[in-house]
Chains A and B, each alone.
Chain A
Amino acid sequence: MTPRGPGMDHALYPFSALPTRPPLAWPDGARLALGLVVHFDHWEIDPPDGAITDPRFRDTFGAFRPDQRTYAWREYGNRIGIFRLMDVLDRHGLTATLAAGTAAIARCPQVIDAALARGWEVAGHGDHATRMVSSAMSDAAEADLIEHAAAVITAATGQRPSGWIGQDYGQSTRTPALLAQAGFRYLSDWPNDDQPYLMTTTPPIMSIPVQAELDDVQLLWHRRVPTPRYPDLVTEAADVLLTEGGRSLVLGLHPWLFGMPHRIRYLDATLARLAQTTGIWHAPLARIAAHVFSEIGKGRTA
């Protein structure tokens, strides 16, 4: 039974109303930190029994095997779409965090090479697009998945990842603790704030909130908002956050979706506007986390 009393109905982080917090300063007097997360993962044509995917990805007419339609569409993202995203980010001088699943890293090493050549961060992202982390996993299986992801990324990039972005926002009740124990410094799965905050794990892991309402999959795919509305929605959010100051904005981008030929110009238009806006600090999530940790070290209480 859910205990009814002040505070959260779990112990992962304490409740904190945003106006009660001290101001959060960004480098160079910026008022908004902007992080871009590019999702890089492999969708299996025939996932194993028990694998959990978001049911909203099912075919319009039902769930069928082989799932050739989704498989081919996702493959488009890794063959073509992701390079379109890279071109657009390059044009605007932006550096992303690549959320990289281990199966995609094995299948498409050229994408890792292209990301590293651009100075992108590579973050943990599980193994397959078709296998969300959830409480249906055993403790040991989840710990293995996290360690495997860290090891594969370390081997592919020469650097152990400091961040974790779950596949389709998949977590179990254990995920933050297991990530913290495995040496991850931050995760970005919770759409519950406009500022990074610490979780109660040992050691404390930082949650960099993600603006899931503007995540391309949530907005353009699941809710089918027309893509031409994306630039205004994002820049409206950025404008409000800039006005308030000391805020963060994390946007999720999927190569199979925003990398499609008819959508890419709207991402280009959005990033052109954001890149020209003063007061925005663009950084991969690891740098945002490092900055906030440093502020906490100087005495800021989240």
Chain B
Amino acid sequence: MIRDRIPYSPIHDRPRLVWPDGARVAVWVVPNVEHYEYLPAHVAHRNPWPRMPHPDVLGYGLRDYGNRVGLWRMADLMDAYAIPATLSLNMAVWDHYPEILDAGLQRGWDVMAHGLYNTRYHLGMSEDEERNEIAAALDIYRRHTGQTLKGWFAPAATFTWASSDLVAEAGITYSGDWYHDDQPCDIAVRQGRLISVPYQMDINDAMVWRHHFEADDFAQMAIDHFDTLWREGADQGRVVCIALHPFLMGQPQRIRALERVFAHMRAQDGVWFATGAQIADWYLTQRPQAPGVQS
């Protein structure tokens, strides 16, 4: 078992990371497109609907709103600002909702698999169980696109000790499961190479929502986040991640706050709007050797 997957590396001790066209920041916008099961098949470690005996129409219905309404409102906004999305996608969504599959394929949205269902936690899974879950997600992607999935973000941010090893072993290129840096980094794994593309648990509408903030607070946080990283990006390339949930920021009372964030970022020069896969691939061209590997 690898205990320390992220050996210490202070930001100032690294060679400069340069983005395409000398951009200061790479921005990736990540809508989490999820399906929470109506009657979760298997409840252990964590109850998805703790409010009452299942089903819970309040909790389920709110998430369902995201797929029926919120995602489409958010997609229109991203189209209007020409922002490429990286979906954090519960892969079962593509089997349940071909409309969402088609919308993503038409737009060329990137996909970072978010497990199968957001109620299918990896907590406490054996290696074989987790390997099978990952394989099932990859199979769905391959069946619908004929291609190999590149990105992984653990469903509901649930982990085992082996998660990073198993996704690398399955051929995944980049992971959204580490929030420890402003730059892509290598994650130590048993075999292969796995790149962290920095995801956000702070600039994340679902985290903000749980703590009685509202959309205008979130928009201010996102703009402040962007401004700091853009300023620092003059010396050292940084990643700006905006993590979204269509069932939250896709609500009518919130969508204009999100528009302010997009407009703010679009008004700046030196910004590379990219997908998770593009950021990971670019990092690999800049850092062809994993740290610790002798050339």
Contacts and interface: CB of A to CB of B under 8 A. Distances in A.
A263 B227 CA distance: 11
B201 A69 contact: yes
Interface string A256-293: 00001111110000000000000000000000000000
Given A262-B202, A264-B228, A226 B213 contact: yes
Interface stretch (A2-10, A16-24, A106-114, A164-172): A106-114
Interface in B143-159: 156-159
Interface string B1-30: 001001011111100000000000000000
In this complex, the interface size class of chain B, counting residues with CB under 8 Å from chain A, is: 35 or more
Interface residues of A, number: 33
A46 B4 CA distance: 11
Given A73-B179, A76-B180, A264-B228, A64 B45 contact: yes
A84 B225 CA distance: 13
A21 to B, nearest CB: 40
Nearest to B10: A110
A224 interface: yes
A45 interface: yes
A72 B45 contact: no
Interface in A207-236: 224, 226-228
Contacts of A66: 159-161
B220 A72 contact: no
B227 to A, nearest CB: 7
Interface in A52-97: 60-62, 64, 66, 68-69, 71-73, 75-76, 78-80, 83-84
Contacts of A226: 213, 217
Contacts of A45: 3
Contacts of A84: 228
Given A69-B179, A108-B10, A262-B221, 6 more contacts: A61-B156, A62-B46, A72-B178, A75-B180, A79-B10, A83-B10
Contacts of A111: 10
B222 interface: yes
A123 B73 CA distance: 52
A261 B228 contact: yes
Nearest to B206: A60
Contacts of A263: 224
A72 B121 CA distance: 19
Contacts of A83: 10-12
A80 B179 contact: no
Query: What 4 A-B pairs have minimum CB-CB distances, sorted nearest first?
Result: A261-B228, A262-B225, A72-B180, A262-B224
Interface of B: 3, 6, 8-13, 45-46, 123, 156-161, 163, 177-182, 201-203, 207, 210-213, 217, 220-222, 224-229, 232
A262 B222 contact: yes
Nearest to B211: A224
Contacts of A71: 180
Contacts of B12: 83, 110
A150 B158 CA distance: 38
B213 A224 contact: yes
A118 to B, nearest CB: 14
A260 to B, nearest CB: 6
A283 B231 CA distance: 30
A216 to B, nearest CB: 13
A38 to B, nearest CB: 15
A73 B203 CA distance: 13
A53 to B, nearest CB: 18
A111 B12 CA distance: 11
A222 to B, nearest CB: 10
Interface in A223-258: 224, 226-228
Contact of B220 (A60, A64, A76, A228): A228
- The interface centre, meaning the residue of B210, B217, B224 with most chain A CB atoms within 10 A of its CB, is B224
A71 B181 CA distance: 12
Given A66-B161, A83-B10, A83-B11, A76 B181 contact: yes
A155 to B, nearest CB: 18
B168 to A, nearest CB: 15
A262 B181 contact: no
A75 B217 CA distance: 25
B127 to A, nearest CB: 14
A268 B240 CA distance: 21
B210 A73 contact: no
Contacts of A261: 182, 224-226, 228-229, 232
B220 to A, nearest CB: 7
Given A76-B181, A83-B10, A224-B213, A265 B227 contact: yes
Interface in A108-138: 108, 110-111
Contacts of A78: 8, 10
A56 to B, nearest CB: 12
Nearest to A104: B8
Contacts of A62: 45-46
A43 B210 CA distance: 24
Contacts of A60: 207, 210
B224 A80 contact: no
Given A68-B177, A69-B179, A76-B179, A265 B228 contact: yes
A260 B13 contact: no
